[in-house]
Chain A
Amino acid sequence: MNHMAGSLEQYNTVVWHWPIAVYLFLAGLSAGAIISAIIIKWMKGNDVSPWDGIIKAGAILAPITIGAGLFLLIFDLTRPLHFWKLLIHYNFGSVMTLGVLALFAYFPVVILFFLGVFKKELIENGPFKFLAPFADMALTYAKAIESVTLILAVGVGAYTGFLLSAMNSYPLLNTPILPALFLASGVSAGISANLVVGLLFFKNSTGESNVSYMHGLDVKVIFAELFFLFILFVGMMYQGGSSAHVASAALSSGGLSTLLWVGVIGLGLMLPIGLNFALPHGVKHSHGFVIFNALIVLIGVLALRYYILYAGQTFVG
């Protein structure tokens, strides 16, 4: 092949780079953290102050991670100072616009949740007395606000998948399973991050039974993720044509496939499942192990976002 015409670089480059992968990770983590915190809060005995460490962890992580993710997203724009135009122009057919609208609603409700959970520290004993009405509102209408939050969190977790699956010329991205995969792995990341933060920073208030409940839930979600990944690739194989080619290339070629097998599947999914079955009960429930397990899950989820984003743009049939 010769290129008398000139460079073809423009026609096959990766357009969205790692900051987008990290954003997708953080958005999923944020949604997962608030979802799992609300699940714990709704369990019997957990719905009153003093809050369980996992609820506190979720209350902190959800706003911080989504905030950090959006910051990254904005500064990844070629012209970051133009991002505000996103707030005044809407295209309701664009997944990006729908995501922006979901985040518009999501951000305030996770902040409300945070204020409610940390009312004592921030408002009663802290300097933020003027926020008292918001914290009271969060506590008075807790059930209603949390229900809305839960729905929005599912929206935020899934939208990151729709964002990529809306593009019909990338076989690996253009699959209906992607939003489900991203939502599941986001929940898994959120649970893990909550466990790490809860056990490291709110050790005294983190209930044992909640830790094992979360850990057990994480293992189930990991099974779901494995299943979704399986469906993704098997589905593409059965589609035949270029989809099948893309699937086999994405599974077998280059550093990206190594990342998939070693990082995503090996470290992030199989190792946690294996350890969970192999280790004796005592070790499995030690805090050290739970934290270690949570960290490898987090690495695996980040690797998954990175893999999907890059492999999706690289292997196009």
Chain B
Amino acid sequence: MQKQYRLLYDENLCIGCQACSIACRVENSVPDEVYRVQVHMQTMGIFPNLGMHYERLSCVMCENPPCVSVCPTNASFQSKDGLVHIDEKSCISCKYCILACPYHARFINPLKNVVEKCTFCYETRVSKELSPACVSICPTDALTFGDMRQSNSLVYQKSHKEVLLFPKAHLGTKPKVAFIPNRKGAKS
């Protein structure tokens, strides 16, 4: 059966520990100087009225992925489950997709010289009914992953309870990663 994956990132629960980023590095052998995922933190406001703003930077698995439509060789493609993957063999490393991705999620792996990004750990975990490495390691359960077609899944229930924010929704990319925005608001 086809899936409709979704990953929720709750800004209220995230403490910026970067465990997700490290777990990703280990799971996918990501070289030091590049990131498939990172949580970017910014201290906002003027002392003593400070607040932290968290932003999770990664591929958001667009339903309408610009990286796929620009790719001249179909090396970037969408699977039947709607996940976006890269076929290293047919990639000519033209970097068009790196430019076209509005989320700057792609990079050249300096060791392998191929284009890479987050895969939701599909090969090694999700296809085996495990959750992605970042989700499984998060100490505060800020990340929730699952199939939106299953109404008993946590991700389904949380999605219907919370206010969701889809990053850069105005571009029409329809991300599968959604943010639960900071309820306390960011100090500006």
Instruction: Determine whether the beta carbon of A6 is less than 8 Å from that of B21.
Output: yes
Q: A4-B16, A11-B57, A89-B73 are in contact. Are A16 and B95 (CB under 8 A)?
A: yes
Other-chain contact of A8, B40, B91, B108 (Cβ < 8 Å): B40
Instruction: Determine whether the beta carbon of B70 is less than 8 Å from that of A166.
Output: yes
A5 to B14, alpha carbons, bound, how many Å?
Answer: 13
Instruction: Determine whether the beta carbon of A5 is less than 8 Å from that of B38.
Output: yes
Instruction: Determine whether the beta carbon of B93 is less than 8 Å from that of A91.
Output: no
Instruction: Determine whether the beta carbon of A85 is less than 8 Å from that of B41.
Output: no
Residue A127 is within 8 A (CB to CB) of chain B in the complex:
no
Q: A5-B40, A167-B66 are in contact. Are A10 and B75 (CB under 8 A)?
A: no
Count residues of A near B (Cβ-Cβ below 8 Å). 35
Instruction: Determine whether the beta carbon of A94 is less than 8 Å from that of B38.
Output: no
Instruction: Determine whether the beta carbon of A82 is less than 8 Å from that of B95.
Output: no
Residue B35 is within 8 A (CB to CB) of chain A in the complex:
yes
A257 to B95, alpha carbons, bound, how many Å?
Answer: 26
Instruction: Determine whether the beta carbon of B70 is less than 8 Å from that of A95.
Output: yes
Interchain nearest-CB distance for B168 vs A (Å)? 8
Interchain nearest-CB distance for A96 vs B (Å)? 4
Q: A79-B92, A93-B69 are in contact. Are A7 and B41 (CB under 8 A)?
A: no
Interface-located stretch among B99-107, B118-126, B128-136: B99-107
Instruction: Determine whether the beta carbon of B21 is less than 8 Å from that of A167.
Output: no
Within 8 Å CB of A90, what residues of B? Answer: 72-74
Other-chain contact of B90, A4, A85, A313 (Cβ < 8 Å): A85
Residue A83 is within 8 A (CB to CB) of chain B in the complex:
yes
A85 to B94, alpha carbons, bound, how many Å?
Answer: 11
A62 to B108, alpha carbons, bound, how many Å?
Answer: 34
Residues in B30-73 with C-beta less than 8 Å from chain A: 33-35, 38-43, 57, 66, 69-73
Within 8 Å CB of A96, what residues of B? Answer: 70, 72, 94, 96
Residue A204 is within 8 A (CB to CB) of chain B in the complex:
no
Within 8 Å CB of A2, what residues of B? Answer: 41-43
Instruction: Determine whether the beta carbon of B113 is less than 8 Å from that of A6.
Output: no
Q: A16-B99, A86-B73 are in contact. Are A78 and B108 (CB under 8 A)?
A: yes
Residue of A nearest to B109 (CB): A78
Residue A137 is within 8 A (CB to CB) of chain B in the complex:
no
A7 to B18, alpha carbons, bound, how many Å?
Answer: 13
Within 8 Å CB of B7, what residues of A? Answer: none
Within 8 Å CB of B100, what residues of A? Answer: 166-167, 169
Interchain nearest-CB distance for B31 vs A (Å)? 11
Residue A39 is within 8 A (CB to CB) of chain B in the complex:
no
Query: How many of chain B's residues touch chain A, expressed as a range?
Result: 35 or more
Residue A279 is within 8 A (CB to CB) of chain B in the complex:
no
Instruction: Determine whether the beta carbon of B74 is less than 8 Å from that of A89.
Output: yes
Residue of A nearest to B91 (CB): A82
Residue A144 is within 8 A (CB to CB) of chain B in the complex:
no
Instruction: Determine whether the beta carbon of B34 is less than 8 Å from that of A10.
Output: yes
A93 to B66, alpha carbons, bound, how many Å?
Answer: 11
Residue B1 is within 8 A (CB to CB) of chain A in the complex:
no
Within 8 Å CB of A10, what residues of B? Answer: 34-35, 104, 107
A313 to B102, alpha carbons, bound, how many Å?
Answer: 12
Within 8 Å CB of A5, what residues of B? Answer: 16, 18, 21, 38-41
Instruction: Determine whether the beta carbon of A12 is less than 8 Å from that of B99.
Output: no
Interchain nearest-CB distance for A180 vs B (Å)? 21
Within 8 Å CB of B38, what residues of A? Answer: 5-6
Residue of B nearest to A312 (CB): B99
Residue A209 is within 8 A (CB to CB) of chain B in the complex:
no
A196 to B122, alpha carbons, bound, how many Å?
Answer: 58
Residue of B nearest to A8 (CB): B40
Residue A278 is within 8 A (CB to CB) of chain B in the complex:
no
Give the most central of B38, B69, B92: most A CB within 10 Å.
Answer: B92
Interchain nearest-CB distance for A90 vs B (Å)? 8
Residue A168 is within 8 A (CB to CB) of chain B in the complex:
yes
Residues of A with Cβ closer than 8 Å to B?
A: 1-8, 10-12, 15-16, 77-79, 82-83, 85-86, 89-91, 93-97, 100, 166-170, 313
**Other A-B pairs beyond A83-B92, A91-B69, 12, CB < 8 Å:** A2-B42, A4-B16, A5-B21, A5-B38, A5-B39, A6-B38, A8-B40, A77-B92, A78-B95, A91-B71, A94-B72, A95-B70
Residue pairs across A and B with Cβ atoms less than 8 A apart, 15 shown, are A2-B42, A2-B43, A4-B18, A10-B34, A11-B57, A79-B93, A82-B91, A85-B73, A91-B72, A93-B69, A94-B70, A94-B72, A94-B96, A96-B96, A167-B100
The 10 residue pairs across chains A and B that have the minimum distance between CB atoms: A169-B102, A89-B73, A78-B93, A96-B72, A11-B104, A97-B72, A94-B72, A79-B93, A15-B99, A82-B92
Residues of B with Cβ closer than 8 Å to A?
A: 16, 18, 21, 33-35, 38-43, 57, 66, 69-75, 90-96, 98-102, 104, 107-108, 113-114, 168, 171
